[in-house]
Amino acid sequence: MTDLHRDLHINTDRLLRELHHLATLTDCPATTDPNLAPPTTAVTRIVFTPRDLEARAYISSLAEAGGFTLRADAIGNTFIRFPGTDPTLPAVGTGSHTDAIPHAGMYDGTVGVLGGLEAMRALKESGFTPRRSIETLMFTSEEPTRFGIGCIGSRLLGGSISPAIADALTDRLPETDPRAPTGLTLHDVRTAAGLTASLTTVPLPPHYYHAWVELHIEQGPLLEREGIPIGIVTNIAAPASYRYEITGFGGHAGALLMPDRRDALTAAAELILSVERHTLATNAASHSSDSVATVGTVAVHPGAINSVPSRVTLTLDIRDTDVDRRTQIMSALHADIRDIQSRRHVTIAEHQINADVPAISDPHILSTLESICNSESIPYKKMVARAYHDTSFIAPIAPVAMLFIPCRNGVSHRPDEYATPESIALGTRVLALALASLAQEGYPS
């Protein structure tokens, strides 16, 4: 019988080659920064663009070469399966995404997809035969770049968004690529990519997964700062996002006198500072730093130096591990919005894009991960995931957890995002051992 702790070998060279090749499938021109070592890699890979379709084809080719079975659903979620001896049992899953926001890095998501595939290959090559099937899943559209909401593939799998609402999402690619056609929906875009089946076929059946573990770079500085090689995620923060449209009255910058102005941009500035003030106050009151809020986009109309802004559109991203605390910040913001409207004689319309709940890791999976780290003498840190992850939307339908590895300076979503080969290999090894352990567990009672 195979002794995995002895026989398991992660082929780090193979994994790194694949990560670096995947990084070449980008809409960013090749660039290097001589001040950084290794050189930076800028990746733009927006879902359903030619580069994204190339990445999907590449991952599928690797899966087929590894001897695994392959299927894609109507949104393009791609399932790579290592069949178990009892295919009737719920499977054990892992995976992440390969789409990337503009000018991002080469490790976000991709470590979880290629690391998951390498974990399955390493298990197979060691002679291990799972009882439950093991799957690596490449999710569609984890990033919100194209359709304005993240984790579309996992939301559909877990039932967190209706197929009709998903299909009607507006294609926002023309905002970043003026050559792209306007007026398209997700349905139009996925159909053009050859995904023509109904989205009603995407949600997973009950008890599809026995357990789920996602491998990911931390996207924060704690593991590197503390010199700890592995993070075990206990919960994932709850994100919500909103779009605001502030409407005032525009005019000539010289002729419209100050007492007569209803400047939409100065009202927007007050709203943005209100978000920051109430988030800081909530953290101070709770003696934590778990509340975070960001206004990441601001569009000013008409956008001329000599014209008073008549309309401003902005977006807010607010996250917390505690929904009540998030609600408290929003309630305080709403009171300020009413005051801003009254004093500045503007209107402020709010549109909620999403408001998700925290994901709590399964105690048994956490115990399994801790036991593996202890048996391998690997230091680990229990921690919170503060970024969006597809695991958040698998959590309603399966027991979940996540593994983090350090990333340099905590940097992510930038070309200088970087994780060392040693960290990637170690995270993949812990993942493989966890998948093997969970795959051997008995029938549900």
Question: What is the identity of the amino acid at 5?
Answer: H
Query: Which pLDDT score is estimated for 31?
Result: 56
Helix (H, G, I), strand (E, B) or coil at 358: coil
**What values do phi and psi take at 280, rounded to 5?**
-60, -40
Reading the block at residue 182, the tokens are 């306007």
Using CA atoms of 157, 158, 159, 163 in order, give the dihedral in degrees to the nearest 10: -20
Q: What DSSP letter does each residue of 54-74 carry, written as one string?
A: HHHHHHHHHHHHTT-EEEE-T
Grade residue 444 by pLDDT with cuts at 50, 70 and 90. Answer: very low
Q: CA-CA distance, 164 to 158, in Å (whole number)? A: 15
Taking only the tens place, the pLDDT of each residue in 22-69 is 999 999 876 555 555 455 689 999 999 999 999 999 999 999 999 999
Q: For the ranges 171-175, 184-188, 433-437, which has the lowest average pLDDT?
A: 171-175
Percentage of the chain surpassing pLDDT 70? 96
Taking only the tens place, the pLDDT of each residue in 246-263 is 999 999 999 999 999 999
For the residues 399-406, what does the mean pLDDT come to?
98
Greater confidence, 332 or 176? Answer: 332
Taking only the tens place, the pLDDT of each residue in 182-237 is 999 999 999 999 999 999 999 999 999 999 999 999 999 999 999 999 999 999 99
Cis peptide before 205 (omega within 30 of 0): no
Say which DSSP state 168 is in. T
Q: CA-CA distance, 362 to 113, in Å (whole number)? A: 21
Say which DSSP state 331 is in. H
Q: Residue for token digits 């549900």?
A: 444
For the residues 5-31, what does the mean pLDDT come to?
92
Using the predicted structure, report yes or no on whether residue 176 has a pLDDT greater than 90. Answer: no
3-state helix, strand, coil in the chain (%, to 5): 35, 25, 40
Using the predicted structure, report yes or no on whether residue 307 has a pLDDT greater than 70. Answer: yes
Q: Work out the burial of residue 292: count CB atoms within 10 Å of its CB; fewer than 13 is exposed, 13-18 middle, 19 or more buried.
A: middle
Using the predicted structure, report yes or no on whether residue 406 has a pLDDT greater than 90. Answer: yes
CB-based contact 240:323 (threshold 8 Å): no
Helix (H, G, I), strand (E, B) or coil at 7: helix
Query: Which pLDDT score is estimated for 404?
Result: 98
Q: Please compute, for residue 265, the number of CA atoms within 13 A of its CA located in the half-sphere on the CB side.
A: 15
Query: Which pLDDT score is estimated for 238?
Result: 86
Q: Work out the burial of residue 400: count CB atoms within 10 Å of its CB; fewer than 13 is exposed, 13-18 middle, 19 or more buried.
A: buried
CB-based contact 77:56 (threshold 8 Å): no
Residues, the chain? 445
Query: Which pLDDT score is estimated for 37?
Result: 47
Nearest to 387 by CA among 230, 226, 136, 217: 217
CB-based contact 111:211 (threshold 8 Å): no
Q: CA-CA distance, 205 to 271, in Å (whole number)? A: 43
Q: Work out the burial of residue 392: count CB atoms within 10 Å of its CB; fewer than 13 is exposed, 13-18 middle, 19 or more buried.
A: buried
Grade residue 445 by pLDDT with cuts at 50, 70 and 90. Answer: very low
Using the predicted structure, report yes or no on whether residue 94 has a pLDDT greater than 90. Answer: yes
Q: CA-CA distance, 156 to 190, in Å (whole number)? A: 14
Q: Work out the burial of residue 11: count CB atoms within 10 Å of its CB; fewer than 13 is exposed, 13-18 middle, 19 or more buried.
A: middle
Taking only the tens place, the pLDDT of each residue in 100-113 is 999 999 999 999 99
H/E element, 359: strand 359-360
For the residues 167-181, what does the mean pLDDT come to?
91
Query: Which pLDDT score is estimated for 34?
Result: 54
Taking only the tens place, the pLDDT of each residue in 126-165 is 999 999 999 999 999 999 999 989 999 999 999 999 999 9
